[in-house]
Amino acid sequence: MEREQLWRRIVIGGVAGRGRIATGVLPRAALLVIRLAPAIVFLAHGYLKLLGGHDDRTVALFLTVDIPFAEPVAWLIGALELAGGLALLSGILLRPFALLLAAEMAVAIGLVRLPQGFIGAWEFELVLLLVCLGLALWPTGQGSALRRQISP
Amino acid sequence: MMRTILIFLILALLAPTASAADVTAVPAGVSTEAVKAFRRGLELHKAKQWALAIPEYERAIELGGRFPEAFNNLAYCYRKMGRIEKAIELYRIAIQLRPTFPQAHDYLARAHLAKGDKAAALSEYEIVRRLDSKLAHCLKEAIARNDPDYNDMPWNASSSGVASSSAA
């Protein structure tokens, strides 16, 4: 409970309540917006990888950076992004998927983006990584759109 | 209302992305001096004056133009001058900067072929065929003939995207 209150003071309280524990519509809406940003990105990229004709491009990328079993891994990554996007959007299985997506972004930075520089390259993956990591660390229940209550 | 905004955002993100860049393109944010040097390099490149094009491309890179097209074209000139190892090194930088750059993979395959490394050329072909089927077709023929210069896309070749329109 103390941990939960600390989170609220840091994250929600700082935004809406000047250190007081914030409840009500605003914190929930803010959290929804934070989840929505990576959800849209991952849904779009997952869709493109699985169904939108970018499967070959993804396999080519994986072959270029020497990822073994490039074709099945490309399919898995597409599925992860699509399912992860849905999880971020709905709040169902939010934390495990947020953690997996954060890990994916860490690998993408390390294997692909790092040599390309920060500005215009791995800055975007870093934002996604940190947002997903934050959502993965969020106290159970509060990230979910299905949980309507933020208990006092 | 929320649903409409969501659908709009998702559709906007799903809109087709720009196709692979050609070898004459300059990305935004590159300094004017670097762009000028790169364009001078392109003109000499088009005239097949490899030895003169090299310093211009190198100058473009020195001036901050660290973009894949500059490394790719510089590598091309080195390859045409027979400096295959140097070309391979530069193609690899171009590919690091843009891993899905079809022309750089195509030319890297040809550089491997010129070096006599057919296995490496075939491995690059596997990447090219997933990025650009027309380039892959030409590359496959070059590998089959063991001739790195066979169908090595000339300037103005419409199928390769190696257009000269933006070079002027």
* pLDDT, tens only, A67-87: 999 999 999 999 999 999 999
CB contact under 8 A, B131 and A48: no
> Looking at the partner chain, which of B10, B98, B127 has a beta carbon nearest the beta carbon of A44?
B10
CB contact under 8 A, A60 and B9: no
Alpha carbon distance B105, A148 (integer Å): 52
* pLDDT, tens only, B19-37: 444 788 887 778 899 999 9
CB contact under 8 A, B97 and A52: no
Q: Is the pLDDT of residue B18 over 90?
A: no
Closest CA to B109 of B73, B83, B84, B134: B84
Mutate to test the interface with A, among B4, B127, B130 (most CBs of A within 10 A): B130
CB crowding B113-134: b at 16 or more within 10 Å, else e: bbeebeebbeebbebbbbbbee
Whether A46 and A78 have beta carbons less than 8 Å apart is answered as yes
Q: Is the pLDDT of residue A98 over 60?
A: yes
| A60: nearest CA partner in chain B | B127
CB contact under 8 A, B126 and A63: yes
Whether residue A61 lies within 8 A of chain B, CB to CB, comes out as yes
pTM: predicted TM-score of the whole model, two decimal places: 0.78
Whether B74 and B57 have beta carbons less than 8 Å apart is answered as yes
Closest CA to B112 of B96, B136, B91: B91
Q: Is the pLDDT of residue A149 over 60?
A: no
| B132: nearest CA partner in chain A | A57
Residue A63 falls in which region: left (phi positive, over 0), alpha (psi -120 to 50) or beta: alpha
* pLDDT, tens only, B98-114: 999 999 999 999 999 99
Closest approach of chain A CAs to the CA of B52, in angstroms? Answer: 28
Alpha carbon distance B57, B34 (integer Å): 9
Q: How many CB atoms within 10 Å of residue B16? A: 8
DSSP, res B78: H
- Rounded to the nearest angstrom, the gap between the alpha carbon of residue B77 and the centroid of all alpha carbons in its chain is 12
Whether B124 and B111 have beta carbons less than 8 Å apart is answered as no
Whether residue B100 lies within 8 A of chain A, CB to CB, comes out as yes
Whether B2 and A29 have beta carbons less than 8 Å apart is answered as no
| A32: nearest CA partner in chain B | B2
The total number of residues written for chain A in this structure: 152
Alpha carbon distance B106, A20 (integer Å): 60
Which band of pLDDT confidence, cut at 50, 70 and 90, is reported for residue A7? low
CB contact under 8 A, B9 and A56: no
Whether B74 and B61 have beta carbons less than 8 Å apart is answered as yes
* pLDDT, tens only, A19-39: 454 567 887 788 899 999 999
> Looking at the partner chain, which of A40, A60, A116 has a beta carbon nearest the beta carbon of B9?
A40
- Cα angle B42-B121-B134, degrees, rounded to a multiple of 5: 60
- Which positions 109-168 of B are in contact with A (Cβ < 8 Å)? 123, 126-127, 130-131
Phi, psi of B37 (to 5 degrees): -65, -40
Q: In angstroms, what is the C-alpha Rg of chain B? A: 17
What kind and span of H or E run contains B95?
helix B84-97
What number is the average pLDDT over the span A45-62?
A: 93
Q: Which residues of chain A are within 8 Å of residue B123 when distances are taken between CB atoms?
A: 63
